[in-house]
Every structure is written in C-alpha cells, then in structure tokens.
C-alpha cells in the first residue's frame, strides 16, 4: 500500500467508525482470553459444581474473593464492555444522522454501522456466555444470600 492510498483511506468518512469498532473488538478478544484463564483457575481451585448444586455461600464468597477480588473486576469490566457494545452503534448512528455529509456517504456509513451492530451482538453474546461462569453464579448466590439476610433482619 503506497503512501497516498493510506492517507486516502484515513480521509474516508467511515474510518472513525471502523477504528472505534476495531478497538472494541480487540478489547473484547483480550477480555475473553483473560476471562477464560480466570474461569479455568476458578474451576481448578474451587468445587464449582458443589457451589452451583448446593448454593454454597462460602464457596461463592471464596470465588468472588479469589486473587484480590479479581472476579469482581471481571464482572465489572464485562458489564462495561456489554454496555459499550450497545452504545457504540447508537452513538455512531446519532453522529451519522446529524452530520452534514451527502446522503450517499450517510448511507455507506449506515451500512458500516449495521455491520458494527451485528458484530457487537455476536461479541456481547460471547461476553455473556463467558461471564455466565463461576463468577456470575457466585454473584447471584451472594445476592440471594444478602437478600435473605436483609429480609430476615427486617422482620425482627
């Protein structure tokens, strides 16, 4: 690729949208790789099957406290990436609609945004499946135990 073609590509009206999406895709891939490693460690170090079947709060607490609360960090960043996956196409569409570009360019950008939306839905599903692991299950068990404790203490 020669220098003029590279700068012509950078001047394209679709470039900012593609760059933002590329950054998001790279972040999701890195997140999923790291989350898979953490899930493997959690499954090796804790009896996750017993935690799920018996709703064991002690194991759930240990899972969420694993390696300086790493599970909470992954839960937080997973939620942030899921929300970002929904926000990117919405903001891109709003920017595209309010721009002063010609209708042909807006239509081309809209096609890029539609592709981004489909890709983001696939990535959001992959994040959700990866998070639906010991981390989310432990979180749900802890929330249920906390709710039962709150109900029990309010009845007294």
Please determine, for residue 20, whether its predicted confidence score (pLDDT) is greater than 80: yes
pLDDT at 1: 58
Please determine, for residue 156, whether its predicted confidence score (pLDDT) is greater than 60: no
Query: Do 60 and 142 form a contact (C-beta atoms < 8 A)?
Result: yes
Q: Is 35 exposed, middle or buried (0-12, 13-18, 19+ CB in 10 A)?
A: buried
pLDDT band at 10 (very low <50, low <70, confident <90, very high): low
Main-chain dihedrals φ then ψ at residue 79, nearest 5 degrees: -65, -40
Alpha-helix runs per DSSP H in 46-65: 48-54, 57-64
For residues 91-123, one letter each, b for 16 or more C-beta atoms within 10 angstroms of the residue's C-beta and e for the rest, the string is ebbeebeeeeeeeeeeebbeebbeebbebbeeb
Mean pLDDT score of the chain: 80
Please determine, for residue 70, whether its predicted confidence score (pLDDT) is greater than 70: yes
Gap between the terminal Cα atoms of the chain: 74
Task: Provide the whole-model pTM.
Answer: 0.74
Where residue 101 falls (left for φ over 0; alpha for ψ -120 to 50; beta otherwise) is beta
Cα(54)–Cα(128) distance, integer angstroms = 23
pLDDT (tens digit per residue) in 83-141: 888 888 888 888 888 878 788 888 888 888 888 888 889 888 888 887 777 777 777 77
Please determine, for residue 7, whether its predicted confidence score (pLDDT) is greater than 70: no
Residue 61 CB coordination number (10 Å): 15
């Amino acid at each position: 690729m020669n220098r003029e073609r590279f700068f012509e590509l950078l001047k394209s009206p679709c470039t900012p949208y593609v760059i933002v999406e590329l950054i998001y895709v790279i972040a999701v891939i890195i997140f999923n790789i790291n989350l898979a490693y953490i899930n493997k460690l959690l499954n090796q170090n804790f009896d996750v099957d017993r935690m799920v079947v018996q709703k064991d709060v002690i194991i759930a607490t240990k899972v969420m406290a694993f390696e300086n609360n790493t599970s909470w960090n992954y839960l937080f960043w997973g939620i942030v990436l899921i929300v970002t996956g929904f926000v990117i196409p919405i903001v891109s569409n709003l920017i595209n609609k309010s721009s002063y570009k010609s209708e042909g360019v807006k239509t081309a950008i809209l096609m890029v945004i539609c592709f981004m939306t489909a890709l983001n839905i696939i990535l959001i599903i992959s994040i959700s499946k990866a998070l639906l692991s010991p981390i989310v299950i432990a979180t749900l068990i802890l929330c249920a135990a906390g709710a039962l404790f709150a109900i029990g203490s309010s009845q007294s």
